[in-house]
Amino acid sequence: MNQIWSDEEIGQLQEKVATQITEGIGLNLLNDHSAAALTMLEFLRGLNRHMGEDDATAGELGRLWLACCDLLKQNPTSELAQTFKAINDAWEPEAPQQGEAPSPTA
């Protein structure tokens, strides 16, 4: 069997896709000016500061959001997971549903 891509190329592609996903999540959050999005931003930035980091980039915000999703699956009863769930549940319904055009006011 012929190998189309080397292991290194596959790793680079996976890293590129992961970066695009995390930056996309962060940008969606930064571009959403709803009260729920601002609450989520405040929460994630607070986590970032708690970890000793300065201002979070879009990619860092996306990684924090994904880490919180993972925490929610791994330890759903923790206080942090429950806080994230409440904030995320408030934010998600305001996002366009799959196949739905974004609101022109967003």
pLDDT digits (tens, 9 = 90+) for 11-67: 777 788 788 888 999 999 999 999 999 999 999 999 999 888 888 899 999 999 999
Could you give the 3-state DSSP secondary structure of residue 28? Answer: helix
- Name the residue among 41, 28, 50 with its Cα closest to residue 84: 41
Query: What's residue 68's pLDDT?
Result: 95
Q: What is the pTM of this model?
A: 0.75
The token pair at 71 is 């925490």
Closest alpha carbon to 58 in 95, 27, 83, 84: 27
How confident is the model at residue 53, as a pLDDT?
A: 83
